[in-house]
Amino acid sequence: MVHHTQAPTILATPNHNILTTGNGNPVDDNQNSMTAGEFGPILLQDFHLIDKLSHFDRERVPERVVHAKGAGAHGHFEVTADLSKLTSAKFLAKPGTKTPVFARFSTVGGEKGSSDSARDPRGFAVKFYTEEGNWDMVGNNTPVFFIRDPLKFPDFIHTQKRNPQTNLKDADAFWDFLSLSHESLHQVAILFSNRGTPAGYRHMDGFSSHTLKLVNAQGEAHLVKWHFKTDQGIKNWTDAEALELNKTNPDSATEDLFNAIDKGEFPSWTVHLQVMKEADAANYKWNVFDVTKVWPHADYPLQKIGKLTLDRNPQNYFAEVEQAAFSPSHMVPGIDVTNDKMLQGRLFSYPDTHRHRLGANYLQLPINQPYRANVNHHQRDGPATYSQNFNNYPNYEPQSQDPKGPAQQLHDVRAKYSSVTLNGQTGRYPHRKSDDDYKQPGDLYRLMKGKEQDDLIANLVGHMSNVKNPEIVKRQIGHFAKADPEWGRRVEEGLKAAKK
Ligand code: HEM
């Protein structure tokens, strides 16, 4: 009796020099359709033609609604520290343990054919194929995000994409939304620094951004933020270089990653954690579940825990990169969720979009299969069920007919979500009024050195010059000024000069 799904064989046949139809018949002629007589109409019986055209008609799956343009590679993660005090996750328990991974990097706002050097955050998603199932670290190359409530995400993304009437990028909508959502200022400062145009995917860091949780064998939880520091060194394009690459090589980052791995120059990232005792969260000066805030390293230093290395290019872009489905809700025992509202929204949104984009059985696709774990459940059927569908195995529980049937693990502490104490009433609560949304962006502005700061101002002025509505510009300058008066003044002066 087969208890788990197995990767289906979808490789070319051993006789790959013989062209066949989809159902495996040899094809006699791939150049000429079958017709009724030499000059007559095409025959419906030409299965090869009909199958070829109709499959072609269905070649595209919808592109990702965000992060549509990306590149990916295989590799491994090696844990280099003993994390057993922090987590019971087996892949993190013993220094030296290696876990296979698949990583995908992406831009966010552009379509699948858009430029790799666009000013945009970069996605940094890593799928860890552990023996206890897959854990997906779905982060960005920035430690913070623009907003902190999932209810705002679709509106936010609408303003970063195309105007519904003109189908053009819309600077007014872009800055209107941001200036009315001042919690975005921190991420705006990063996006319009040169970190908004990284020189390829190998030269940027990755962050979980959210506060996640690690839970140890005793059920004790710690709050953590993940940091992936590039071993290649940070390298960014200036705005001018990025704009030039938009024209000359819109696939520059995709090409750079593929070629580096092809040449054996395997990119790697040193992985660190910031760790906070769960009990400290309530009294910390920043709301730790607000994804627009960082934990300053002086308060919570980086602790080195491992290395991520990418050393194998995909064999097939569609099967491996396009069909990859990452989700923050794909977790393993020892790694848990927190009350970060954005994270909570994402836990739902990703598998939901995967079911729409790839189908209900997206976890059976080879790239998404938790192939190192045993998969046993009662889900059955649905389009593209291309495993053995659990053969004749019980498809319900509780059941008494098959003693080996998959059963819930009521007494397995590690299988449970860690519980948190809650109080208060249900409601739609804004983030704490005491949260200061200007201090961290202001600190970041003041931390930037001369040229970095000059570039930030120039990049902001370049983009905001496209805004037609002066009220929007005024409102956004007000936010810069509130974070640092000089920042506001310089953007204002820059915009005036640009107008002249
Ligand atoms: C992709 C939703 C916030 C990182 C996506 C996708 C959706 C989505 C629907 C497309 C997934 C697919 O088609 O496979 C949301 C929502 C958010 C949110 C609703 C807020 C409530 C964030 C944040 C981060 C992030 C804060 C980073 C910390 C990513 C990455 C991808 C992605 C890296 C691309 C994954 C890949 O390479 O396939 N997001 N997102 N998102 N998101 Fe988010």
Inform me whether the pLDDT recorded for 266 exceeds 50: yes
Q: Does 307 contact ligand 1 (Cβ within 6 A)? A: no
Closest-lying ligand 1 atom to the alpha carbon of residue 291: 26
Q: What is the pLDDT of residue 4?
A: 40
For 173-187, 218-232, 410-424, which range has the lowest pLDDT when averaged over its residues? 410-424
Inform me whether the pLDDT recorded for 273 exceeds 90: yes
pLDDT tens per residue, range 448-493: 999 999 999 999 999 999 999 999 999 999 999 999 999 999 999 9
Ligand 1 centroid from CA 397, angstroms:
34
pLDDT tens per residue, range 7-57: 444 555 566 789 999 998 999 999 999 999 999 999 999 999 999 999 999
Ligand 1 centroid from CA 264, angstroms:
30
ipTM of the complex: 0.98
pLDDT tens per residue, range 139-198: 999 999 999 999 999 999 999 999 999 999 999 999 999 999 999 999 999 999 999 999
Task: Find all residues with CB under 8 Å of 98, minimum gap 6, and list them.
Answer: 76, 77, 78
Q: Is residue 310 a contact partner of residue 73, using CB atoms and an 8 Å limit?
A: yes
Closest-lying ligand 1 atom to the alpha carbon of residue 352: 9
Mean pLDDT, rounded, for 132-136: 98
Inform me whether the pLDDT recorded for 333 exceeds 90: yes
Q: Which pTM was predicted?
A: 0.95
Q: What is the pLDDT of residue 413?
A: 85
Q: Does 353 contact ligand 1 (Cβ within 6 A)? A: yes
Catalytic annotation present for 67? yes
Cα three-residue angle 185-191-195, rounded to 5 degrees? 135
Q: Does 145 contact ligand 1 (Cβ within 6 A)? A: yes
Q: Does 106 contact ligand 1 (Cβ within 6 A)? A: yes
Burial of 223 (0-12, 13-18, 19+ CB in 10 A): buried
Q: What is the pLDDT of residue 115?
A: 98
Inform me whether the pLDDT recorded for 376 exceeds 90: yes
The conformation of residue 87, written as its DSSP 8-state character, comes to: -
Write out the two tokens for 112: 């699948």
Confidence class for position 435, pLDDT limits 50, 70, 90: confident
Between the CA of residue 499 and those of 106, 152, 461, 469, 474, what are the distances in Å? Answer: 34, 33, 10, 14, 15
Closest-lying ligand 1 atom to the alpha carbon of residue 152: 21
Q: What is the pLDDT of residue 417?
A: 86
pLDDT tens per residue, range 231-251: 999 999 999 999 999 999 999
Helix segments in 92-170, DSSP class H = 153-160
Q: Does 354 contact ligand 1 (Cβ within 6 A)? A: yes
Catalytic: which of 48, 67, 203, 272? 67
For 136-140, 234-238, 329-333, 428-432, which range has the lowest pLDDT when averaged over its residues? 428-432
Q: What is the pLDDT of residue 414?
A: 87
Percentage of the chain modeled with pLDDT above 70? 97
Confidence class for position 3, pLDDT limits 50, 70, 90: very low
Helix segments in 140-237, DSSP class H = 153-160, 171-179, 185-191
Catalytic annotation present for 158? no
Mean pLDDT, rounded, for 104-116: 98
Q: What is the pLDDT of residue 412?
A: 87
Known binder of ligand: residue 417? no
Closest-lying ligand 1 atom to the alpha carbon of residue 67: 34
Tokens 């998603």, located at residue: 125
The helix/strand/coil state of 223 is strand
Ligand 1 centroid from CA 66, angstroms:
7
Q: What is the pLDDT of residue 460?
A: 98
Q: Does 150 contact ligand 1 (Cβ within 6 A)? A: yes
- State the chain's mean pLDDT as an integer: 94
pLDDT tens per residue, range 75-104: 999 999 999 999 999 999 999 999 999 999
Tokens 């299965």, located at residue: 47
